[in-house]
Copies of this chain bind each other. A is one copy, B any other.
């Protein structure tokens, strides 16, 4: 493997000059920079990241942190994020390091080790939970991080997210206008994630513009009896804006089981289901995870603006099916 020493020797230059030329240092003449780069590429020179990182006291890596408790179906979303993140990272000659584990302690140790041993200074969290120990750690370390999903009210840090109020409103309007739903409800999870609150807000906003009464139902995680009871108590519902595909499909299937012949349209979010699994009455909003991943990296590498505004990027969603 050729090193900058080899290049220097071959060109009769010093190691310093070669290093500076390769890094496009202004102090080196354009002519020399060009020559050095040409020779370097001819010799098949590849920089040694470990050496560079040792000198820079900083790794050219971004730590990507997975949530501990997630539903398997969400993994589709995470891999989409990974794709977008890595695309942006490779173009910056950065590397993607993953922190994933089965307990908060494991992940926390993983991240600590990335900071102190691997000297990683930038992180992307694929989630945004309140009181998350990893986030608490990162906030008190000299590192930068971005979360996917905005922080809960009262908290502030850089993030990338969709406009979930708009996404909720769009889903509601789709049901009202395109599928002529008379009684669309909003179905949420018991977790109260920030994105659900926003989608619900969008739903409420649209409903309030009509003469309808809003109906919110929290779908329990395990037990289906409460869900069945709700459906029986509300036989008139003909549309559902669900907080995510999982919640939506769960409700949709119970509804169809109880009322096989009633028509109902459902809007979910994440586009996480293969088309084979859903029919023309199930609609999903694509949140464009790859774009969100790219945006997260861009935010992470953005120069400080100095403004007090929290840096963030809103990625547009779109309808699928």
Q: Which residues of A pack against B, CB within 8 Å?
A: 1, 46-51, 53-54, 59, 61, 64, 66, 71-73, 75-76, 78-80, 82-83, 86-87, 90, 93, 95-102, 106, 109-110, 113-114, 116-119, 246, 249-250, 253, 272-274, 276-277
Contacts and interface: CB of A to CB of B under 8 A. Distances in A.
Contacts of A83: 100-102
5 contacts: A48-B117, A50-B119, A87-B101, A90-B109, A249-B276
Contact of A71 (B90, B96, B102, B274): B274
B59 A50 contact: yes
A76 B273 CA distance: 12
Contact of A110 (B59, B90, B109): B90
A107 B225 CA distance: 48
B97 A96 contact: yes
Contacts of A46: 113, 116-117
A19 to B, nearest CB: 15
A260 to B, nearest CB: 9
B1 A116 contact: yes
**Complex A-B, nearest 7 residue pairs according to Cβ-Cβ distance, in ascending order:** A75-B79, A50-B53, A250-B276, A46-B116, A50-B54, A96-B98, A75-B76
Contacts of A76: 72-73, 75-76
A61 B97 CA distance: 9
Contacts of A80: 72, 75
A276 B227 CA distance: 12
B50 A274 contact: no
Given A79-B78, A117-B48, A118-B49, A86 B72 contact: no
Contacts of A114: 95
Contacts of A87: 101-102, 106
B98 A82 contact: yes
A246 B274 CA distance: 8
Contact of A100 (B61, B86, B246): B86
A61 B61 CA distance: 12
A276 B79 contact: no
A310 B222 CA distance: 45
Contacts of A66: 79, 82
Nearest to A45: B116
Contacts of A109: 90
Contacts of A79: 66, 72, 75, 78-79, 100
A137 to B, nearest CB: 15
B82 A106 contact: no
Contacts of A50: 50-51, 53-54, 59, 118-119
B97 A97 contact: yes
Contacts of A73: 76, 274
